Amino acid sequence: MNYENKSLTIKSWAEDDRPREKLLLKGKAALSDAELIAILIGSGNRSETAVDVSKKILNSIDNSINKLGKLSVLDLQKFKGIGEAKAISIITALELGRRRRLEQALELPKITSSKAVFNIMQPIIGELQHEEFWIIFLNNSNKVLYKQQSSKGGLTGTLVDVRMVFNKAIELYATAIILCHNHPSGKLQPSNADKLITTKLKKAGETLDIKVLDHLIITENAYFSFADESLM
């Protein structure tokens, strides 16, 4: 019997230290990220427990769950003890979490602040590697009528058709719109192009009596609001 390897199996730990048992006894909030991932993969390798392997994966991405969600099957398989099935389990769990956030965002019926806009749009564009420009159309109670991608571009920027934006607003009888786009670079400061398109859309809206309430630049974890910064 290999006593050294035996000591590294989760079953040999005290019951409180086993991730599954810990979840049952103390609830899901008591588990660390590594312990939750350990439950997904079930086992480690000959020299490491599932928790050890999970910690190693997290350490490689600065303990960021957002970064974990961006890893591919091949990325995960680089870690000893992670085969295709385990990698798929991790990716599936993270994708379900992303869809849950998106579903919650879609349930928000009314815009009350820039933070509410961020909560709606971050799951949609916050983690993209290319830039997208979106419009949120609102009624006179600031309830969301519709959300639409206006343009999609590369890492350097997008092109926005002002006529198409307001055609849709008129079609929906919207009284206000909010502009949103992401910065894949993670930088929150608006560019000159961002300021110009904001001014252009705002002036066009004034002619049609459709207010442009805000323009948000969205990144993975934060946002910049033109309205909050008195730039509208």
3-state secondary structure of 52: helix
What's the half-sphere exposure (Cβ side, CA atoms, 13 Å) at 134?
23
The per-residue pLDDT for 25 is 85
Residue, of 101 and 126, whose pLDDT is higher: 126
Query: With DSSP H G I counted as helix, E B as strand and the rest as coil, what are the percentages for the chain, rounded to 5?
Result: 50, 15, 35
Taking 80 as the threshold, does the pLDDT of residue 16 lie above it?
Answer: no
The per-residue pLDDT for 152 is 86
Taking 90 as the threshold, does the pLDDT of residue 149 lie above it?
Answer: yes
**Whether 29 contacts 82, CB under 8 Å:** no
pLDDT (average), residues 114-122: 93
The neighbouring-strand residues paired with 182 are 218
**CB count, 10 Å around CB of 160?**
18
Q: Dump pLDDT digits (tens) for 165-209.
A: 999 999 999 999 999 999 998 899 999 989 999 999 999 999 999
Domains in the chain, CATH or no CATH each? 3-103 (1.10.150), 110-225 (3.40.140.10)
Distance, CA of 151 to CA of 135 (rounded, Å): 10
Overall pTM > 0.85:
no
Helix axes 50-60, 33-41, angle to 10 degrees: 120
pLDDT (average), residues 66-83: 94
| Burial category of 29 from C-beta neighbours within 10 Å (exposed 0-12, middle 13-18, buried 19 and up) | exposed
What is the overall mean pLDDT for the chain? 88
What's the half-sphere exposure (Cβ side, CA atoms, 13 Å) at 92?
8
DSSP 8-state code for residue 194: H
Lowest mean pLDDT among 2-16, 75-89, 207-221: 2-16
pLDDT (average), residues 128-145: 92
Among 228, 230, 151, smallest CA distance to 193 is for: 151
The per-residue pLDDT for 1 is 38
> To which H or E segment does residue 39 belong?
helix 33-41
pLDDT confidence tier of residue 76, bands split at 50, 70 and 90? very high
The per-residue pLDDT for 212 is 96
